[in-house]
Structure 1
C-alpha cells in the first residue's frame, strides 16, 4: 500500500484551498440554482410530491413510511421511503417516474426522521458505480493479502484509488451538484468513497460564512440540493478547506 503524500496530493490540496478561498469570496455568484444538476425542475416536483405524501401519512398514522434499516447502514442511505405503501394507502396517486421502483434512477430517502422529516434523493446510477468499484477493490484485496490498491494520500486515512494497480478502468462519476467528475478514494479498510471536497467548498462559499470546526460538511450539499452525497466520507473544515475524516 502506498502511503506517500506526494506532489500530486499537494496539488490537489492546493486546488481545494484555492477553490474554498474563491468560493468564500464569491459567495452566491457560483452555482446558479437553475443550472445545478441536483436542482432540476423534475427533481423538485418529485420531491415535493413525495414530501406532501409523507407529511400526510405521518399526520394520519403518527408513523413514517420508511423501510426498516440496520444500524450499520450509512446515514445518507438509511431510511428508504416505502413508495408502494404510500400509493397503496392513497397518499400518492402514482409512484414518480424518477423513482427506482418505477424504472427511474433515484431512490427516495428520508432525513431528519426524528425532528423534521425531509425527502431527498439518492442517485442509484452513481451508487451502483461505486458499488461496482467496491467489488473490484474487495477482489483485489482478497488476492493480495489484504493490501489495498492505493495511490497518493489525499487526506489522512484516505488514498486515491490506483486504477492501474487495480487493473481495471474505473467508470467516471459526475457530481449531482456540479456536473464535475468525482474522484474515487479508499480508506485503510478498503472502503470506497467519492471525494466531494470541491463541491463542499463551493456550497460553503454560497452559504457565505465559514462553518464550525466540528460540523459535518456533507450537510451543506444536502441543503444545496434535492440529492444526498453518494458514498461521501465525513468532512470537517480545517485550514480554510474541507478535510475528509475517518468516522
Structure 2
C-alpha cells in the first residue's frame, strides 16, 4: 500500500510540474488574455467618452508629453482625469493604467480626434533593444552598432557586434517579422516598409498618396492600432522610404 501511495504521489507531482512548465511555454506573457486586443465595443465606448468630453469642455483629456515624443505615442488619454470628472466609472481592463498591455491614445487630435491603441509588448521590446544600443555605445566611447545602410537616414543594427541575438519583433498589422533600424543618434525604430507597401498595393495606382503624405497614417487608419516606434515614411520613387522629417 505504501509503495502504491508513493508511486501515485510521485506521478501526481510530476504531472503538476509538467503542467506549470507547459503553461509557461504555451502561454507567454504577451499571449495572456489581458494582452489580447480588447473587444471593439470597449474602444467605441472610450471614443464616445472622448467625444462627449470635447463637446462639453472644448478640450481633449490627454496627458502631458515631451515635444520630441513620436506622434503615435504622444497623446495618451488621461483616464484619471476622466474618472475624477465622472466621465467614466471604470478604466478599461486592457489599458496600461489597469495593468493591461495597451496605451489608449488619441490621433488626428486637431481634425478628428480618434481613439487608437498602442501595443506595449512591442513597445517594451524596442525599448529593451534601445537600452542594449546605449550600453554598447557607452562601452565603446560613443560608437554605435551600425549595420548596413537601409535608408538614407537609417542603418540596420549589427547584432553580432553587440553580442546579442536579433529579437523577433512582429508587426501588429500583418504579423510579419519586422526589422529594426537606427538613426545617426542611436535611436531605434521598427521598419514598417513591408506593411506600408502592402497597403499601397491594395489601394491601387489611382489612389496612391502624394510624396508629402506621412504614410504611417495608412496603417493607423485601417486598424485600431498605431505603428509602434515607427519613423516617418514618404513615397520616394514610388516606394515607401523611412526618413527623419
Give the TM-score, by structure 2 length: 0.80
Identify which of 211, 216, 222 aligns with 1:224.
Answer: 222
What are the superposed Cα offsets for residues 35-69 of structure 1, whole Å, 9 maximum, x if unpaired?
xxxxx973532221111011111112222111111
Where has structure 1 moved over 4 Å in runs of 4 or more?
none
Q: Which runs of 5+ in 2 are unaligned?
A: 1-35
Q: Secondary structure of the equivalent of 2:38?
A: helix
Out of 152, 155, 158, which is 2:151 matched to?
A: 155
Work out whether residues 46 and 98 of structure 1, in 8 Å CA contact, stay in contact via their aligned partners in 2: no
Cα RMSD between the aligned structures?
1.6
Q: 2:60 aligned to 61, 64, 83, which one?
A: 64
Residue 94 of structure 1: which of 72, 90, 94 is its match? Answer: 90
Which residue in 2 is equivalent to 1:5? none
Instruction: Specify the SS of the correspondent of 1:235.
Output: strand
1:54 alignment partner in structure 2: 50
SS in 2 for 1:42: coil
How far 1:83 moved relative to its partner?
1.3
The offset of 1:185, in angstroms, is 0.9
Q: What is the CA-CA distance between 1:196 and the residue it aligns to?
A: 0.2
Q: Provide structure 1 residue ranges, at least 5 long, that are not aligned to the other structure.
A: 1-39
Q: Secondary structure at the match of 1:81?
A: coil
Q: Is the 8 A contact 1:43 1:226 kept in 2?
A: no
The 5 Å alignment of 1:1-247 reads 42-208=38-204, 209-247=207-245
In 2, Cα distance between equivalents of 1:109 and 1:213? 27
Higher RCO (C-alpha 8 Å, min separation 6): 1
Q: What do the CA deviations read for 1:117-145 (whole angstroms, capped 9, x no partner)? A: 11111111111111111111011111112
More displaced, 56-65 or 226-235? 56-65
- TM-score normalised per structure 1: 0.80
